[in-house]
Amino acid sequence: MKELKKISKHRVRKIFLLFIVIAITAVTLVVETYAWFIGLSTVSTSNFDIQVSSAGGLEVSLDGEHWKSGNDKLTISQTTITSTSGSGDHAYSGNTNKWPTSGLVPLSSPGIIDDTVGRLKFFEKTSLSATPGGYRIVANRVDNYTVTNGNLVSEADGYVAFDLFIRNGTGTQYSNDNYICASANNCAAEYIYLMKNPIATVDGSTNYGAANSLRVGFYLLAGTKARGASVSTITGLGCDSTTSSTTNIKKICSSTRDNRKYYYNMWEPNKKVHTSSIVTYFNSACKRRATDGSYTTNACNILNTTSNWDSFVIRDTIVASDNVDIYDGNNSYVGSVYNPTDNPTGKLDSVGTYMSPETSTVYSVSNQLFTLAGNSITKVRVYIWLEGQDIDNYDVVSKNSNVRISFGLTKDIYGVGS
């Protein structure tokens, strides 16, 4: 599917800002050892609060029943995403939300949702050994997908995961087909964008690897017609939903490359920000590999503090005999990197899809997240994690540092091409 054409100035003037502002505040980080590149680390997530507000016909909910909009903010925290009752914000009974009891742990994700269970694929490092130009890596998939006796295991520790319901009140007609565009100039869907200047910091600064390796993923699981939908229908939306025009239920659960920016997206707040210590380390440690996998004495492409650097994330189990280096791709060696034509069994994926919102233009293809049908309720699975394959995940943060993430979403109620 071709990328969407940039919205014209005329279109931008028609944009109606329909926003969700999400702020993650006071995340206490306690690094026990080091980050991904050196050893295993644990980062505590106490006092991890998210506030969500909306306006202009867009409402949000954790339980699919109690909706908030405008200045009436939805609070997402350890309590609200794990509790299923009470007078305040809470999730729905039977949810699979996860608050990591052991804290945030560097993991790697190719950004692919397992459409059989509606869970994001994660991989954890099991060992590292030094090489002449980096580190040899061994990794296994995190088990958040096993079904035993009909029951799915819970999400694993090490990341945050929760369901967010979005009710889009715009429009009177609902269609399962309106979640995606037929073309850039034929789109009944409504586009959701990141707002200008979102941030992720540690103690008010991006001078920490933890802040610069944070990722947020948004995955549309399923949607239904807003008017007349029962609570049980809303909360029951998922990868096992039945796609039918007669039932007004749309199963989505797609993370193929062509469907990014329609059905899912990922956000790396500080894609273009790197600390001076990480730059120095990378430029001295990373050495190029020849086509046969041997290391040379030549340095990798030089990194600077504002480089737009892609992540080569783990996409499959890695064993020692695979000879995968943590810098593969960055060191010009593509033998382990996924290519659907030349190397479909590659262990790493060159993921240039992690987005860093442009600050010069707000509503453009560069920061489009996904699309929503009019008159719809959509279950969105949200993930927050530290990407271990991010080169920034080398730096060590100080004990009791505070991480803050804030971002907003805007909606074009007219839809591109109308």
Q: Write out the two tokens for 172.
A: 């009177």
Does 224 reside within a domain? yes
Q: Which two tokens stand for residue 235?
A: 């909360």
CA distance 206 to 305: 11
Residue 21 maps to a domain: yes
Q: Residue 10: its pLDDT value, please?
A: 45
The answer to whether residue 254 scores a pLDDT higher than 70 is: yes
Residue 365, pLDDT > 70, answer no
Rounded distance between C-alpha atoms, residue 208 and residue 57, angstroms: 38
**What domain range is 41 assigned to?**
9-412
pLDDT-based confidence at residue 353 (cuts at 50, 70, 90): low
Q: What percent of the chain stands above pLDDT 70? A: 73
Q: What is the pTM of this model?
A: 0.88
Task: Specify if 83 maps to a domain.
Answer: yes
- Least confident among 25-29, 128-132, 243-247, 375-379: 25-29
More confident residue, 291 or 51: 291
Question: Burial level of 130, CB count in 10 A (0-12/13-18/19+)?
Answer: exposed
Calpha distance 290→367 (Å, rounded): 36
Question: Mean pLDDT in the chain?
Answer: 79
pLDDT(56) > 60: no
Is 144 contained in some domain? yes
pLDDT score, position 26? 40
Q: What is the mean pLDDT of residues 99-108?
A: 82
Range name among 6-20, 233-247, 332-346 with the lowest pLDDT average: 6-20
Enumerate residues 6+ apart whose C-beta is below 8 A from 232. none
Chain segment 168-224, per-residue pLDDT in tens: 887 767 888 888 876 666 667 888 877 667 777 766 777 777 778 888 899 999 999
- Please give the pLDDT value at position 302: 87
In the prediction, which pLDDT does 316 show?
Answer: 96
Residue 347 lies in a domain: yes
State yes or no: pLDDT of 27 exceeds 80: no
The string of DSSP letters for 316-370 reads: S-B-GGG--BTTTTTTS--TTB-BTTTBTT-SEEEE---B---SS-SSSGGGEEE
For residue 345, count other CB atoms closer than 10 A to its CB.
10
pLDDT category at 108 given cuts 50, 70, 90 is very high
Of the pLDDT bands very low, low, confident and very high (cuts 50, 70, 90), residue 237 is: very high
pLDDT band at 32 (very low <50, low <70, confident <90, very high): very low
Q: How many distinct helices (H) and strands (E) make up the chain?
A: 5, 23
* Number of domains composing the chain: 1
Q: Is residue 1 part of a domain?
A: no
2, part of any domain: no
Q: Within a domain: residue 323? A: yes
Query: What is the per-residue pLDDT for 64?
Result: 95
The pLDDT of residue 59: 83
What is the predicted pLDDT for the residue at 76? 74
